[in-house]
Chains A and B, each alone.
Chain A
Amino acid sequence: MSPNDRSLKARHQAFPIHPGRIFTWTLLFLGGVVMVTPILFMLSTSLKDASQVYDLRLIPEAPSLDNYKVVLSDGRFLRWFLNSVIVAVCVTLSNVFFDSLVGYTLAKFQFRGRYLVFLAILSTLMIPTEMLVIPWYLMASSFGWIDSYWGIMFPGMMTAFGTFLMKQFFETVPDEFLEAARVDGLNEFTIWWRVAMPLVTPALSALAIFTFLGNWTAFFWPLIVTNSRELYTLPIGLSSFAVEQAIQWEMIMTGASLATIPTLIVFLLLQRYIVRGVMLAGLKG
């Protein structure tokens, strides 16, 4: 179902080359350059010193990493970075585990109440998270979860979107595989973990990518549930840092670069999987 190179080639034979196509290509390319310009300007300015910020040329005259040294020197960014990594990794692992466990159960077990459970989980998609933040905040303050990793993480530990996505994929797994494992005497948990899970790895990676990215960039809930600087995630920390820097744009751009560079590196390494994951999730979800 995912587009492979062969179908790509077939498509291009179906759309023959003529001069108009070169024009189209150029326009598309220029549009793409415009798209990345903000990112390039951010990176370029992070390498300039304060006196060069007014110089709007993209290539810095004397690029230096001094801004990064200053921004990283007090350890705040490293702490925020670490917080973001911990939160995003834990929430992603939890979603990969529970969303697929629930999706598998709803797809492959016959029992009374199955449909009701499915509908109940699906119905949570209709409720915007903004509606839940006030009750969540009250819950977090009465249990002492304000300013804790768990406080940032708990609302997202399972999602209806992920459950729905995984259910769709587990439905395509043939029952014979699972029966064979049952005959071999494996218990149900092992069948799910050892037999069914490896068959849906593309869906798992799509779910993992989406969950990680969503939590890495999350702003609204972490802003509400964290008060102390030590517990800020990277986006909240960056926002407070930028306010404090006022008009020192080269410092703000350095902070923004620090928040952006990790995802860009991951993207360059995993581009194929990420694009495929977005397509998978978009088509099935």
Chain B
Amino acid sequence: MTTALSARYGLIRGNLSLRQKRVLWAWSFLAVPIAFYSIIRFWPTLEAFTLSFTDWNLLRPASFVGFDNYIRLANDPLFWQVFRNSAVYLLIGTPVSLVLSFVIAYYLDRVNFMHGFIRALYFLPFLTTAAAMAWVWRWFYQPLPIGVLNGVLTWLGLSQQPFLRSTVQALPAILAPAIWAGLGFQVIIFMAGLRAIPLSYYEAARIDGLSELAILRKITIPLLKPTIVFLVVFSSIGFLRIFDQVYNMTFNDPGGPLNTTKPIVLMIYQTAFKSMEMGYAAAQTVVLFLVLLVVSLIQLRLLKDH
């Protein structure tokens, strides 16, 4: 009798503790990751905000200076130049890479002959190291007799261009390899989106006598909306954070000539790790964070509403 009862009791207790045991397992699985995210992600985030209100420069102890760093930033002509440069990287880079990759994906999706090979040609640059390819492009842009592009231009009977030495041409010249390297990724994502559109939609549209252009406008693009939103936000963040190409292609005068190619991240790098003005640099990183946040939110709002 008692044994039966205790066995039953034990069973109930066993059942209860089985569920508790699972909760315990869950928290033990999460223990190390929670510690990691707290120490490596959340704490540094708070610290970056805190540092941005101090004048710390590694030499003397930090003291609270309120919004001084932000006021200094707002009055720094270099910051506005850098801000403009970053905007240009974004405003040229995102539309150009999106239109190019969509056109390529749209036609590549219909190609049967050597499909995998052509796809590989477009995808290959995505796997290269930006720092390595920056030097290849830098070589392309050299003046004659070394530079490949100027060689082609003179061969075509056109005049030589200064490229990286020009305050006007340098930024697009640096943007080109960034677009080039990211194109393959965007093509693949667009193709995945195109594949997800059921073929019956196209067939029905053709039976209805819609032209290819009408099909593109009325079916393909609206149904690709989620893909487009993802790629716009993703590539905008990428162009706003451009660094590797600029650093390597303008090494002798980072961000030059005359700061016309300097993006926000390069300014942060120089302020923090060349001038060692950690507080001021932290304020710049907070501004970068706000810019990324605002740009993403605006894009999501605009693209979702249509």
Q: What residues of chain A lie closer than 8 Å to B268, measured between beta carbons?
A: 130
Flag whether B45 is at the interface (Cβ < 8 A): yes
Q: Which residues of the other chain, B, contact A243 by a CB distance below 8 angstroms?
A: 251
Known contacts A25-B113, A154-B40, A238-B132; decide if A134 and B121 are in contact (CB<8 Å). no
A219 to B293, CA, bound (A): 23
Q: Which residues of A contact B44 (CB under 8 A)?
A: 131-132, 135-136, 139
- Residues of B with C-beta under 8 A to A41: 136, 140, 148
| B22 & A24 in contact (Cβ 8 Å cutoff) | no
B145 within 8 A of A: yes
Complex contacts, B139 vs chain A, CB 8 Å: 45, 249, 252-253
Assembly CA distance A274 to B107 (angstroms):
21
Nearest to A272 among chain B residues (CB) is B116
| Contact status of A130 and B241, CB under 8 A, knowing A98-B32, A219-B130, A235-B131 | yes
Segment of B4-12, B70-78, B82-90, B242-250 in the binding face: B242-250
CB within 8 Å for A25 and B120 given contacts A135-B48, A219-B130: no
The size class of the interface chain A forms with chain B is 35 or more
B127 within 8 A of A: yes
Q: Which of A32, A111, A126 lies in contact with B27, CB distance below 8 A?
A: A111
Residues in chain B near residue A21, CB distance under 8 A: 110-111
Chain B residues within 8 Å of A137, by CB: 272-273
In whole angstroms, how far apart are the Cα atoms of A33 and B114 in the complex? 13
CB-contact partner of A267 in B114, B115, B124, B281, under 8 A: B124
Q: Is the CB of A131 within 8 A of B26?
A: no
**Which one of B121, B199, B248 lies within 8 Å of A36 (CB-CB)?**
B121
Is there a chain B Cβ closer than 8 Å to A91's Cβ?
Answer: no
A77 → chain B, closest Cβ, in Å?
Answer: 12
Q: Are B45 and A130 in contact (CB under 8 A)?
A: no
Distance in angstroms between the alpha carbons of A217 and B243 in the assembled complex: 13
Confirm or deny: A72 has a beta carbon within 8 angstroms of a beta carbon on chain B.
no
Per-position contact with B for A197-239: 1 when CB-CB < 8 Å, else 0? 0000000000000000100110110011000000000111011
Q: Which 8 A-B pairs give the minimum distances between C-beta atoms?
A: A32-B121, A135-B44, A235-B131, A109-B26, A256-B132, A188-B25, A279-B192, A131-B285
